[in-house]
Structure 1
Amino acid sequence: MSTPTPDTPPVFLQTILFTDSDGRARFREDRIALDQGKPAARLSAPLPARELQLRQSPPGFRSEFHCTGEPQWVFILSGRMEIGLQDGSSRIFSAGEHFYSADVLPEGATFDPAVHGHWSRQVGDEPLRTLFVRD
C-alpha cells in the first residue's frame, strides 16, 4: 500500500504473474486505487470473485513447469512459496503476501515446458497453506 497525499487516495499494490506476448511468464506490478470508503477505512471498488479453494503443500513440495488454468488471486496464509520463471528468476512470497496468477497458456498454443509457465515450491520447514480466489 502507498501513503496517500491529501489529493491522492492510497493504492493496493497487486503483483501479477502473467503470460507476455512471447508466451513466457513474467511478473509486473499494478495499482488498485483505494478510492472508496472513509479515510479511516479506504476500499477499492468491488472485485469479482467466483470461488475459493484452500491448499496445503508439505515441506519439499515442488511442481514442474505449468501454466495457471484460469486467472486467480493466490494468498499465502502460512509458510513460504517460491515461484520460478523460465528466465531463471524467482520470487518468494511469505505469509500475508499475495499475487495474481494470470500465467495462462496463450490461445492456440501447445504447452512447451521449455517456454511456457512457471514452477512453484514450498520453502522452509513449515507447510505452505494458500488460498486461491478465482474471478
Structure 2
Amino acid sequence: MNENHSVPVVRLHADEDGESHFTDDSMTLGLAEFAPPAPAILVSPPTAAARSMFLALPDNWSSEAHPAPREQLMVMMSGAIEVTVSDGETRTFTTGDVIMIEDTTGRGHTTRSAAPNALAIVVQT
C-alpha cells in the first residue's frame, strides 16, 4: 500500500476584501492505525466537527448570493451542483467531489442544482 496519498479538494474562500474564490488544494492521507487490531489504513489528520447532515437540492433549485452559514466540508454523493463565486468563476461539482466551504463572510456564492438528485453530505465545524 502506498504510504502517502492525497485527495483533491476545492476550497471556496473569501479574501480580505470579501471577494470569494475557488482554490484547488488537496488533503494528504497517511498510513495510520485507525481501528486496531485491523491493519493500518490511509487516513487524513482529524478535524473537529460540530454536526453533519445530508443536503438534497430539489431539481431546478437555485440561490441568491450568500456566504456559508459555517465552515463546512461538502462531499457530493449524487447529481451535480453549479457554484459561482463572487469573482465570477463557476464550477460544477459531481459525485465524489470534495469542497471545503470557508466563505462565511463577504459577498458569498450562488448555488444551483445542475442535475437531478443532487445529494451531498455536509460536515460543519
Deviations 1:105-133 (A, max 9, x none): 15xxxxxxxxx010000013x12112110
Amino acid at match of 2:23: R
Report 1:92-107 matches (<5 A). Answer: 92-106=92-106
In structure 1, the gaps of 5 or more residues are: 107-115
Whole-angstrom distance in 1 between the partners of 2:55 and 2:44: 26
Unaligned ranges ≥5, structure 2: 34-38
Percent identity over the alignment is 25
Could you say which residue in structure 2 is the equivalent of 1:12?
7
1:61 equivalenced with 2:61 (yes/no):
yes
The reply to whether residue 119 of structure 1 matches residue 103 of structure 2 is no
1:37 paired with 2:32, answer yes
The structure carrying a bigger strand percent of its residues is 2
Normalising by structure 2, report the TM-score. 0.84
Q: Which amino acid aligns with 2:97?
A: E
Measured at CA, do residues 33 and 98 of structure 1 come closer, stay the same or move farther in structure 2, by a change above 3 Å?
A: closer
Aligned-residue CA RMSD in angstroms?
Answer: 2.0
Partner amino acid, structure 1, of 2:111 = S
**d(CA) in 2 for partners of 1:47, 1:88:** 30
Distance in 2 between residues matched to 1:122 and 1:25, nearest whole Å: 20
Q: Are 1:22 and 2:35 matched, yes or no?
A: no
Give distance in 2, aligned partners of 1:132 and 1:45.
18
1:134 CA drift (Å): 0.7
- TM-score, normalised to structure 1, is 0.78
Runs (4 or more) in structure 1 with deviation over 3 Å come to: none
Instruction: Count residues with an aligned counterpart.
Output: 119
**Which aligned pairs between 1:46-85 and structure 2 lie closer than 5 A?**
46-85=46-85
